[in-house]
Amino acid sequence: MPFRLLADENTSHRLVTACQRLVDGFPIIHLANWQDGMWLGLDDAALLTCCAAPTGRSELLSGVLVAFDRATLAWHAGQLLRAGQDHTGIILFRGSVRSSDYGYQARLLTDFWENEGGSWDWQNRIVYLPKSL
């Protein structure tokens, strides 16, 4: 299964598990489990840059990052855009979403991805969950 969503290293593995329990085959993987964890430890700017670039393998290092890091990820994404570089997209949870409420996080993410986000062009896009009305 191709993974389209990449949970960053500071996001709990429990979110990934909860999403896959809610939706069979949900296309998310944790950064620590993807490509033997070779991308762990990169700073935000480097991770965003790498996520937009082919690796030379059959699989691209491309995926929409899923994270809680609202301050620095969004800022680094803006810096990349101002420098003329792209990123593959970011989904961030708003401050109202508790970092330990994996069920709520999983429902927000799976509902959004299946009803809207899965069909979008994610290049240079940032979405906050829950979405504003």
Give pLDDT, residue 57.
46
Give pLDDT, residue 34.
83
DSSP code, position 132:
P
Q: Where are the domains of the chain?
A: 5-129
> Which tokens in the block code for residue 50?
């790498």
Whether pTM exceeds 0.85: yes
> Which tokens in the block code for residue 5?
């969503």
Contact between 64 and 5 (Cβ < 8 Å): yes
Cα–Cα distance between 78 and 31 in angstroms, integer?
A: 22
For 48-100, the pLDDT digits (tens) are 877 765 554 434 456 899 999 988 999 999 999 999 998 889 999 999 999 99
What pLDDT band is residue 1 in, cutting at 50, 70 and 90? Answer: very low
For 2-14, the pLDDT digits (tens) are 668 999 999 999 9
For 98-119, the pLDDT digits (tens) are 999 999 999 999 999 999 999 9
Task: Say if residue 89 is exposed, middle or buried (CB neighbours under 10 Å; 0-12, 13-18, 19+).
Answer: buried
Give pLDDT, residue 130.
97
Give pLDDT, residue 61.
54
Q: Which residues have CB under 8 Å from 132's CB, separation 6+?
A: none
CATH architecture of 5-129: 3-Layer(aba) Sandwich (3.40)
What pLDDT band is residue 28 in, cutting at 50, 70 and 90? Answer: very high
CA angle 56, 26, 94 (to 5 degrees): 95
> Which tokens in the block code for residue 94?
């708003």
